[in-house]
Amino acid sequence: MQRAAPQEFDRVLSSMCTRPHPAARKAAERFFATNPGDPATYQAVAALEEDALSYLGDITGLSAPHGYVTSGGTEANIQAIRAARNHARDDDPNVVAPESIHFSFQKAADVLDVELRIVPVDDDYRANVAAVREAVDDHTVLVAGVAGTTEFGRVDPIPELTAVAHDAGALMHVDAAWGGFILPFTDHEWSFAHAPIDSMTIDPHKYGQAVVPAGGLLFRDKSVVDSLAVDTPYLESASQASLTGTRSGAGVASAAAAMRELWPDGYRDAYERQQTNAEWFYDELRSRGYDAVEPDLPLVAASVPDGQFESLRDLGWRISRTASGELRIVCMPHVSRESLRAFLSDLDDLRSG
Ligand code: 0PR
């Protein structure tokens, strides 16, 4: 089996990490010994975190964003649930989410001792609004939707889900960890500009082209994020809302640098190029007789026989499968047309061999 070198991305087709933008890499190097968890001591990186938040607000349609740069989507999702729970002060809280939700919600429910109610998706892998409406009750503190699902790249009906959440007296969270840097260039209704959602996960270390670790958590209302704060008596800074204590200055600085370089034109170019690649790849698979899921965002899923899948892995392709077994190809910014052509050529050899 061939193993990819640590920073080699040529054969990495199913990951949601990508090659960082050169400006992001440079910023990370400058700030890797700083701690945004103590903003009064590390003021330069704290200012960059403010810049990063303000860019994230521009991208998601939120004019005065509250929140912070997390270690990733998992921390952001845990904290969104924790904030909703603390804010509601319910003694038996539950969260309602579609089955397409990322597995970080299972971790969150476990850590926070909150009941997670998973409801079915529709035929196009999107949250079924009627099923969500059935599942909410007086103890629902949060409804979650996904804008760019991990397995199929689908966008849930966010305005409809938000109405259901608010009717039930719950907060609405959107997980745009992967989709957040792609969706501004589509017609989808996914953001704070399209619905009065309460919080969002959007990760610079995925499509945002920052270095790892750099996730994003945004809140519309300050009182919700304040419900996360604990006092920090012996630090220069008086309280902390983040889950981790010491945080990555490299991640924060790189996120700010990537967004400064790429928002909006660079991200639009990446989306347009990769969406075109995904559609091309989908057509190529279909013309070979494979059953494939049409790419709404730059992610293609297709049924490929086990033997071919394993052989492609043995040839060094870093690929994975959905829970229902489909091969998934995530057209991240590093996935070139040449790479996809080489992959298809290996597939053709396997088919004829
Ligand atoms: N929300 C969504 C919609 C996600 O897709 C992911 C991760 C998360 C939250 C959690 O984010 P963090 O992993 O930053 O905590 N989605 C990818 C996945 O689970 C993560 C990933 C990235 C996996 C790179 C593999 C990999 O090589 O598939």
The secondary structure of 103-157, three-state, reads: CHHHHHHHHHCCEEEEECECCCCCECHHHHHHHCCCCEEEEEEEECCCCCCCECC
pLDDT of residue 225: 95
pLDDT of residue 236: 84
167 Cβ contact partners less than 8 Å away, ≥ 6 residues apart? none
Tell me how far the alpha carbon of residue 16 lies from the centroid of ligand 1, in angstroms. 6
Q: Which residues of 159-192 are buried (b: 16+ CB within 10 A; e: fewer)?
A: ebbbbbbbebebbbbbbbbbbbbbbbebebbbbb
> Which atom of ligand 1 lies closest to the CA of 72?
14
pLDDT of residue 6: 63
Residue nearest to atom 11 of ligand 1 (CA): 73
CA 75, distance to chain mean position in Å, is 11
Q: Pocket of ligand 1, candidates 102, 201, 243: which has the most ligand atoms within 8 Å of its Cβ, to mutate?
A: 102
What is the spatial distance between Cα 36 and Cα 252, in angstroms, rounded to a whole number? 8
pLDDT of residue 235: 85
What is the spatial distance between Cα 343 and Cα 45, in angstroms, rounded to a whole number? 41
pLDDT of residue 110: 98
User: 176, 128 in Cβ contact below 8 A?
Assistant: no
Give φ, ψ of 285 to 5 degrees.
Answer: -65, -45
The amino acid occupying position 166 is H
Q: Say if strands 199-201 and 327-330 run parallel, antiparallel, or are unpaired.
A: unpaired
What is the spatial distance between Cα 93 and Cα 141, in angstroms, rounded to a whole number? 6
> Which residue bears the tokens 């700010």?
256
SS3 state at 29: helix
pLDDT of residue 114: 98
Tell me how far the alpha carbon of residue 295 lies from the centroid of ligand 1, in angstroms. 18
Ligand 1 neighbour 175 (Cβ under 6 A): yes
> Which residue bears the tokens 């347009």?
272
User: 13, 199 in Cβ contact below 8 A?
Assistant: no
Residue nearest to atom 10 of ligand 1 (CA): 73
Tell me how far the alpha carbon of residue 73 lies from the centroid of ligand 1, in angstroms. 7
Token duo for residue 220: 């519309």
pLDDT of residue 221: 97
pLDDT of residue 297: 98
> Which atom of ligand 1 lies closest to the CA of 212?
14
Residue nearest to atom 28 of ligand 1 (CA): 150
Question: What's the full length of the chain, in residues?
Answer: 353
What is the spatial distance between Cα 53 and Cα 218, in angstroms, rounded to a whole number? 8
pLDDT of residue 8: 81
Q: In the β-sheet with 299-302, what is the strand arrangement from edge to edge?
A: 292-293, 299-302, 327-330, 320-321
Ligand 1 neighbour 104 (Cβ under 6 A): yes
pLDDT in tens, the chain (353 residues): 556 566 689 899 999 999 999 999 999 999 999 999 999 999 999 999 999 999 999 999 999 999 999 999 999 999 999 999 999 999 999 999 999 999 999 999 999 999 999 999 999 999 999 999 999 999 999 999 999 999 999 999 999 999 999 999 999 999 999 999 999 999 999 999 999 999 999 999 999 999 999 999 999 999 999 999 999 988 888 899 999 999 999 999 999 999 999 999 999 999 999 999 999 999 999 999 999 999 999 999 999 999 999 999 999 999 999 999 999 999 999 999 999 999 999 999 999 98
> Which atom of ligand 1 lies closest to the CA of 205?
14
Supply the pTM of this predicted model.
0.97
What is the spatial distance between Cα 73 and Cα 203, in angstroms, rounded to a whole number? 6
The amino acid occupying position 69 is V
CA 60, distance to chain mean position in Å, is 13
